Structure 1
Amino acid sequence: MSKQLSDAEEQAIAWAIRADAPGFVEWEALEQWLAADPRHAVLFDRAASNAHQAAAAIAAVPARERFTLIQGDLADPVEESPRPARRRWAAAALAAGVAGLAFGTSWFLQPPGSAPEQIVGTRADEVRTLALGDASSVTLRGDSEVRFLPANPRAVHLTRGQASFQVRHDAAHPFTVTAGDIEVTDLGTRFDVDRGADATTVAVTEGSVAIRAAGKQLELRAGQRSVIPNGAAPGSPTSLSAGQGSERQGGALSYEDVTFARVVADVSRRTGMRIRLAPGLAGRHFAGSINLDGPPEAVISRLEAVLSVSARREGEGWIFAPAPDGT
C-alpha cells in the first residue's frame, strides 16, 4: 500500500523537480521555503538523493535500451515474450528511474552527455545563496557565476566572480570546485573561492580544503588563504586577515600586492557599486586593507584616500581618476 504524502513532502518533491529544470530562477523563493521549517531541508535533500540514486541506475542502461523501453514498455504496454536477464534488469532500472522522476530526475531520459548544465549567476548588485540538495550551499557575490550538472551538484565550476561554500563532508563523494585549471576539494569545510582575471584566491574559514593546480597539491586549513596565479602551482598559505573569507556584504578586503583593477572588481562585486577606472590606473598596485562598511559615499571616500584617486559620479556609478596632486 502506498503511503500518503504530507503537504511538506509534496512541496519538497515539487521544488526538487523545478530546481532540477534548466533555467530555474526561483532560488530566492526556494531559500525562503527551506528556511520556513527545519524539516524542509531534510525533505528536499531526501527528494534530491532519491533522484540521484534513480539517475545512477538509469545511467547504467545503454541509451538505446532506454529509449526502446520508453517507447515499448511504457507507451505501449502489451504482453511480450520473456526477455534475457539483462533486459529485465534494465527494465527494473527504468522503473526506479520513473519513480525517481517524482523527485526531480527530469534529465535521465536524455542520451549520455546531454544532461543540461545548470547555470546560476548574479548581477553586480546581487547576492544569492543556492541550496545544492545535500545540505551543502553556495553563496554567490555580485557578478559571479557557477555551473554544475543537476545530477552531480557536488562538482561545481566557478566561471567568474566569487563564491562562498558551506559543504556537507562526504569522503565517498568529495565536493569539488574548479576555477579555470585550479581544483579545490572539500575536506570538511566552509570556504571561499574568488576567481579573478589573473589569479584565484581560496580562503578557508572552517575545516580544510585540498587545492590542486599545475600538478601540485596544497592543503589549506581554517584561517588560511592561498593566492594562485593563473597557470601556476599553489604557493605557501598565508593567514587570513579580518574580513577575508567573509560571506557577508561589506566587511573588509585585504591585499598584499594586487592591481587597482582587481581591487575595483572586488569592491564592485562585494558592494554592488559600479566603479570604472580612468586609463592608466588599472595597472597600478595596492597593498593594504579597505573597510567596506557603511553607505556607498563613505566607502568611496575611503577608496579615494587609500588608492590616492579622485572619484566623481558617472550615471549610476563612479569613475576613479588620478588624484589632483598627480599621485
Structure 2
Amino acid sequence: MMNEEALAWVIHTRDPAFADWEGFTAWLERDAANAAAYDMLMAADADMDAIIPAEPVAMPIAANDAGEPRRAAWRWIGGGAIAAALVAAVSVGMLNRADIYTVTTRPGETRSIALDDGTQIDVNGGTTIRLDRNDTRFAALDAGEAAFTVRHDAANPFRVTVGDAVFEDAGTVFNIVHGTGATRIGVSEGKVIYNPQAEAISLPAGRGLADDAQGLRVMDVAPVAVASWRTGRLVYANAPVTQVSEDIARSLGITVHFTPQAATTRFTGTIRLDKDAARFFAGAAPLMGLTAVRQGKDWLLKEGNGPQS
C-alpha cells in the first residue's frame, strides 16, 4: 500500500500543474517510511530515459479525431504507464545496474581494492561490499569489516553507507565493522562525519562510534588500534569477548563459540593473529583469562584459564 501511495505522489508531483503541496507534505509527515519510499522512486527518475522515450509516442489517433498534442496524449496515458515505468526503473535500474558490483571475501580471506580516485579499501574476511564503477566516491558495506584510506576531495566527499547510516570522509583513514545488530567505526587519521544530513556527528582521529543494542555512542579509540587486523594484530580496550570472538572468526576463517559466562568477560590488550588456530588459541585464550576447547572444526571459549585443548 505504501509503495502504491508513493507512486501516486511521484506521478502527481511530476505534473507541472500539481498544486496540492499541503496534502503532499502531510503525507510525508505521517510516516517516515513514506519519505524513504518517495525518495527511492524519485531517484529512479534518473533511469527513466532508458525506459521511456524522450519524446513519448502518442496514442493512435482515430481518423475522425482532430488530434491533440503529444504531451496531452502522454498525460492521458497517465498513472499506469508512469507507474509501470517507475517500477521497472526501480527493479532494473536501481537493483541490477551494471555499474554496481559486489566484492565478497570468505572468512579468513583479505583483499585490497585500489579505486581510480586514489582511495584504497582493505577488505577483511567474511565481508560483502558494493562499489560503483561510475562513482568511485561511493561504497556500501553490507556485512563484515573494511578499512578505508581515502583521498580527500571537499567538493566530492567519499561516502560509505552501512544499513541506514552514512559515513562521510573529510580526508581520512578509518575502519568500519558491520555485524548482526551492531556497527562500529574507528578513525585513525583525518575526520569522518556520521549521518551528515541528520546527527552530523564529527569523528576526528582517535574517536570511534558504536551503534548497537546499547544505543548510539561515541568513544575514544587508539589510532594504532584502528584496522590493526591489517598488520596481523587485534587491539582492544575493554571489549566484550563476544566482539573479540567475531573479529577472530572473521580474520582467521574459523567459527568461535563461547559459554554464557565467558560472554560476560571483557578484554584489554593485543592479540597476535596466527592462521594456525591451535597455536593462536594457546596464546590468545589465556590472555583473555579463558580456556579454548576444540569442537571439531569449531572452537569454544569458556571460563577458566586451564590448558587449551
How high is the TM-score relative to the length of structure 2? Answer: 0.62
Report the Cα distance in structure 2 between the residues aligned to 1:219 and 1:263, rounded to whole angstroms.
26
Aligned equivalent of 2:160, options 166, 174, 177: 177
Q: How far does the alpha carbon of each residue in 1:45-74 deviate from its partner, in whole angstroms, 9 at most, with x for none?
A: xxxxxxxxxxxxx96845333899xxxxxx
Aligned equivalent of 2:119, options 125, 133, 136: 136
Report the Cα distance in structure 2 between the residues aligned to 1:131 and 1:163, rounded to whole angstroms.
13
Q: How does 1:111-190 map to 2 (within 5 A)?
A: 112-113=93-94, 114-116=96-98, 117-190=100-173
Check if 1:302 corresponds to 2:283. yes
Q: 1:316 to 1:231 in 2, by over 3 A?
A: closer
Check if 1:292 corresponds to 2:272. yes
Mean Cα deviation higher: 194-203 or 156-165: 194-203
- Cross-structure match for 1:208: 191
Q: Which amino acid aligns with 1:303?
A: A
- Cross-structure match for 1:274: 254
Mean Cα deviation higher: 274-283 or 114-123: 274-283
Aligned equivalent of 1:253, options 231, 235, 242: 235
How high is the TM-score relative to the length of structure 1? Answer: 0.59
- Cross-structure match for 2:180: 197
1:250·1:293 contact (CA, 8 Å) conserved in 2?
yes
Report the Cα distance in structure 1 between the residues aligned to 2:249 and 2:107, rounded to whole angstroms.
7
Q: How big is the shift at 1:134?
A: 1.8
- Cross-structure match for 1:64: 52
Runs (5+) with no aligned partner, structure 1: 1-57, 69-109
- Cross-structure match for 1:38: none
User: Any idea what SS the aligned residue of 1:65 has?
Assistant: coil
Q: Highest Rg: 1 or 2?
A: 2
Report the Cα distance in structure 2 between the residues aligned to 1:322 and 1:231, rounded to whole angstroms.
24
Runs (5+) with no aligned partner, structure 2: 1-45, 57-90
Q: How far does the alpha carbon of each residue in 1:198-255 deviate from its partner, in whole angstroms, 9 at most, with x for none?
A: 43221112211111289422212223322233694443x4131643333514223213
Q: 1:213 to 1:276 in 2, by over 3 A?
A: farther
Alignment coverage as a number of residue pairs: 225
Q: Which amino acid aligns with 1:135?
A: G
Q: How big is the shift at 1:122?
A: 0.7
Aligned equivalent of 2:210, options 210, 227, 235: 227
Q: Which amino acid aligns with 2:299?
A: W
- Cross-structure match for 1:84: none
Q: 1:303 to 1:189 in 2, by over 3 A?
A: same
Report the Cα distance in structure 2 between the residues aligned to 1:169 and 1:160, rounded to whole angstroms.
25
Q: How big is the shift at 1:280?
A: 2.4
Q: Alpha carbon RMSD of aligned pairs, Å?
A: 3.3
